[in-house]
């Protein structure tokens, strides 16, 4: 990428991955970027479980598929565009995420940080991680669909009760790079001084 | 900044600001970066109120000070390092944030997006905004201390009930640039396959 603003325009959710591995040094660069995000009280309440073991990866993604089959798909059908729906279907149920060689489970330690500040303390770190992946030409996605299975995920990964999963991030190489993202122009959702006064 | 990884190491919470103004084009660049973040179902549920009016800015920061005086300071004293405590005191009660020429209130539209996905849909955008500010040499901070006053903030800014404030971000120029941030090394909070297995 030719600079930060170019980078943010090219961050995309990937739902297909090649089987090319990602080495530990590269994963370390992603995590180093993550931990430099801000967190409430500078408590750094993140815990990362880097799952590379094939059987564990498979079991982890079974929960996403279970959530999708158990109502997620039906709910999404009424809400997503057909293109996005097909893409998500491919990622969760079509084996897309299963090709990713690395799954990073991001969890919050709610004894180290406060429960109420988990969102503002964890998702900035996740965004750093996703941007770092994009910067290095890697494919990634932010998924939260299996978060309904908190206790199952904790049991599977040996997480203590106070370490609560927040997201699962598949990391790998793209089958093909995606173009820049499309968004509503910021002006659509920006107000001057008071809501409703156009920017 | 000389690249993305340098940028993330230099993102810092600023709690003092010079009185130099920030022009609209610059604010637009920050918001454009924000809206290119991922969001659940690509719902882009963010709404930004850019508050520059001095009386409104002052009233907005009164809520932060009220939260700080009404228990926040006492709670923080037992949790923050003395250096961070003094810094936060300066920002909230010592006029630090009041010098910032721009306050960006980031809110979530919980009709457009789902309430349960607000954290994963709003804080990545906020992190993009903070990184963009850093990239442009601006000072910024992620504050959530006044979020207990949801209805007061909604009344003051004319936000409908379904547009819920998530953070207030002061933006301005630094009095002096801060050095890189200090964090626990990522290895301290990273596990291989299962919690407790060192990276």
Q: What is the dihedral of CA A119, A120, A124, A127, to 10 degrees?
A: 30
The string of pLDDT tens digits covering residues A74-112 is 999 999 999 999 999 999 999 999 999 999 999 999 999
Query: What is the model's pLDDT at position B79?
Result: 95
**Packing angle, helices B54-67 and B82-92, rounded to 10:** 140
Give A70's DSSP letter.
I
Best to test chain A binding among B49, B59, B115, B148 (most A CBs inside 10 Å): B49
Mean pLDDT of the A44-59 span: 98
Q: Do B49 and A191 touch (CB under 8 A)?
A: yes
Query: What is the model's pLDDT at position B66?
Result: 97
CATH topology of domain A4-175: NADH Oxidase (3.40.109)
> What band does A68 get if pLDDT is binned at 50, 70 and 90?
very high
- How far CA B171 is from CA of A136, A182, B61, in Å, comes to 29, 26, 13
> What band does A64 get if pLDDT is binned at 50, 70 and 90?
very high
Mean pLDDT of the A168-190 span: 97
Q: Does B111 touch chain A (CB under 8 A)?
A: no
> What band does A152 get if pLDDT is binned at 50, 70 and 90?
very high
pLDDT values of chain B reduced to their tens digit, one per residue, 199 residues: 679 999 999 999 999 999 899 999 999 999 999 999 999 999 999 999 999 999 999 999 999 999 999 999 999 999 999 999 999 999 999 999 999 999 999 999 999 999 999 999 999 999 999 999 999 999 999 999 999 999 999 999 999 999 999 999 999 999 999 999 999 999 999 999 999 999 9
Query: What is the model's pLDDT at position A2?
Result: 74
Separation in Å, CA of A83 to nearest CA in chain B: 12
Strand partners, A169: A104
Q: Tokens 């156009």 label which residue?
A: A198
Query: What is the model's pLDDT at position B1?
Result: 63
Which residue of chain B has the CA closest to A199?
Answer: B50
Query: What is the model's pLDDT at position A1?
Result: 63
Q: Which residues contact B97 (CB under 8 A, 6 or more apart)?
A: B15, B17, B61, B64, B91, B103, B141, B143, B170
Chain B residue numbers with beta carbons less than 8 Å from the beta carbon of A135 are: 3-5
Chain A residue numbers with beta carbons less than 8 Å from the beta carbon of B36 are: 8-9, 11, 181, 183
Query: What is the model's pLDDT at position B78?
Result: 93
Q: Do A28 and B186 touch (CB under 8 A)?
A: yes
Query: What is the model's pLDDT at position A19?
Result: 87
Question: Which CATH architecture describes the domain B4-189?
Answer: 3-Layer(aba) Sandwich (3.40)
Cβ-defined contacts of B90-93 (< 8 Å, 24+):
B90/B15, B90/B16, B91/B15, B91/B16, B91/B141, B91/B143, B92/B15, B92/B61, B92/B64, B92/B65, B92/B68, B92/B145, B93/B65, B93/B68, B93/B69
Whether ipTM exceeds 0.90:
yes
d(CA B67, CA B63): 6
Mean pLDDT of the A156-167 span: 98
């Amino acid at each position: 990428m030719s600079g930060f603003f170019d980078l943010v325009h090219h961050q995309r959710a990937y739902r297909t991955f090649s089987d090319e591995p990602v080495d530990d040094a590269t994963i370390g660069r992603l995590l180093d970027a993550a931990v430099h995000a801000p967190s409430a009280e500078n408590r750094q309440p993140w815990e990362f479980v880097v799952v590379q073991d094939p059987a564990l990866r498979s079991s982890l993604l079974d929960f996403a598929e279970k959530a999708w089959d158990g109502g997620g798909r039906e709910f999404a059908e009424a809400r997503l565009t057909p293109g996005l729906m097909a893409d998500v279907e491919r990622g969760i149920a079509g084996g897309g995420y299963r090709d990713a060689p690395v799954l990073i489970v991001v969890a919050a330690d709610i004894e180290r940080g406060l429960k109420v500040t988990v969102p503002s303390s964890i998702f900035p770190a996740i965004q750093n991680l996703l941007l770092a992946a994009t910067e290095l030409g890697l494919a990634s996605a932010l998924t939260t669909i299996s978060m309904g299975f908190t206790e199952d995920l904790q049991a599977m990964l040996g997480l203590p009760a106070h370490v609560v999963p927040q997201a699962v991030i598949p990391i790998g190489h793209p089958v093909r790079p995606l173009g820049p993202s499309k968004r509503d122009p910021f002006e659509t959702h920006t107000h001057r001084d008071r809501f409703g006064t156009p920017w």
